[in-house]
Every structure is written in C-alpha cells, then in structure tokens.
Amino acid sequence: MSNESDLRESICLFGRSLFDRGLTAGSSGNISVRLSDGGWLTTPTNSSLGFLDPARLSRLDADGRLVSGDAPTKELPLHSALYATRKDAGAIVHLHSTHSVAVSMLPDVNPAEVLPPMTAYYVMRVGRTALVPYYRPGDPAVVDAIRGLAGKYSAVLLANHGPVVAGKDLEAAVYATEELEETAKLRLLLHGLNPRLLTRAQVRDLVTHFKLDEAIGEDMHDHDCSNPHNCSHKGE
C-alpha cells in the first residue's frame, strides 16, 4: 500500500481530474481511501473535489474518529458500510455524475442490475450495479440498505443522487466510476432503440478470461427477460 502522503496527493489529483471533466460539480461528491492501520483518509465535508488541499483531508482512525484535518464527508456512514461489506475495497468514490443520476430516475431500471452488460469494459471494470432507494444525503439509514446487499456489489447507484463505487485502490475506484458513467450515457443514448447487448456466453467468457468475480456472470442475467432493454439473452 502507498504511504499516506502519496495517498493524500492521489486523492487531490484524482479529485481535480474528476471535477475538471465535469463528473461532479460544485462541492458534490466525496472520496475515501483505507489506510494500512485500519483508518481512513476522506475528503472534508463541503469541499470541492477540484480544490482539495492534501494537508486538510480528514484523517480518521480505525474507529472512525477524526484524528486530524477538517470535518469528514457527511457520507462517512455510507463509505464505512461499503468497506465493511467489501473487505477487499481500498478506496471509494461518490460522484453526482449526470448520466448516472439520470439513469437512477428511470422507471424501468432493474434494482439488481441497473445497467445491462452493454460493453466488455463495463463488465470488466464495474461488473454490476445495484440501485439503492433514495435517502437524504448523509442519512445513516442508508447503512442498512448497503448491508442488505451483503457485499455482492462494488458499485451502487443512490436513487436521485449518484454512484458510489468501491475499488481495490483509488485508481480502480475512479476508473470504475468513470466507466459506470459512460455506460449510463450509452444506456440513455440507446433508450428505446432495442440495442444488442452482450450475450450470457460473452459475459461468461469475460469472467473466465479476466478472472472476474464469478457472481457477475450469474446475477447479470437475473432480470426480466421480457424487457428488451435489460435482456442480453436474445439469440441464445
């Protein structure tokens, strides 16, 4: 694991990059990274991801107590719950990326699989995404919703709010969040056009070839096959 000072720099660099590309606006979004002593670094509440100061990031101990820096993001309970259910997670990114937020409001979204397997890269980087019902930002009640997913998802989409994505490290979490956003964009572009999706066999091939989580191949097809926008079984 990188040392704390490198991680502080990385949080600020990735935050700036996400902000500069319009993936989260104003002071929306937050980032956290798990440290080797069991504590965390998080972005401070009300801070803009585009203008973070490495020295002012919130440093928390393993019990979630603030050790140094500014007050942490109000989404600390959300991040902590995802870390608790995803033991392999080293970082979490939450954004208000527009296309992902838009998809979270569509009426025909399958909560167990918000986005179908449209591209190989989505399957490889994200796997699958669960929809979590709307909660007021910072509401600790979201913890039960995350626990209810039992660690099966590294990516969740908060309804009418935005994505929250865990990765083995910060780079993986950022890339997965970006891929989720690109896939949400495709989903909206193709809405109503009956796109050809990856088949079950193609998803299985990716899972085997890239040694992905076996559950991806299974659950990606746990949906209503009568809905052409959610089904990749066509022709099988």
Catalytic residues: 121
Number of residues that bind ligand LB5GJZVW (CB under 6 A): 11
Contacting ligand LB5GJZVW (CB under 6 A), which of 73, 129, 177, 183? 73
Other C-beta atoms lying within 10 Å of the C-beta of residue 60 = 23
Residue whose CB is less far from ligand LB5GJZVW, 74 or 185:
74
Q: Helix, strand, coil proportions of the chain in percent (round to 5)?
A: 35, 15, 45
Query: Taking the complex as a whole, how short is the minimal distance between the CB of residue 158 and ligand LB5GJZVW, in angstroms?
Result: 8
In which residue are the tokens 């989409």 written? 157
Q: How far from chain centre, in Å, is Cα 170?
A: 11
Contacting ligand LB5GJZVW (CB under 6 A), which of 7, 12, 14, 28? 28
Regarding 179 and contact with ligand LB5GJZVW (CB under 6 A), the answer is: no
Contacting ligand LB5GJZVW (CB under 6 A), which of 13, 17, 54, 74? 74
Q: DSSP 3-state assignment of 137?
A: coil
Regarding 45 and contact with ligand LB5GJZVW (CB under 6 A), the answer is: yes
Burial class (CB in 10 A: 0-12, 13-18, 19+), 16: middle
The β-bridge relationship of strands 162-167 and 66-68 is: unpaired
Q: DSSP 3-state assignment of 155?
A: strand
Contacting ligand LB5GJZVW (CB under 6 A), which of 7, 8, 23, 29? 29
Q: Report the interface residues with ligand LB5GJZVW, using CB under 6 A.
A: 27-30, 45-46, 73-75, 94, 137
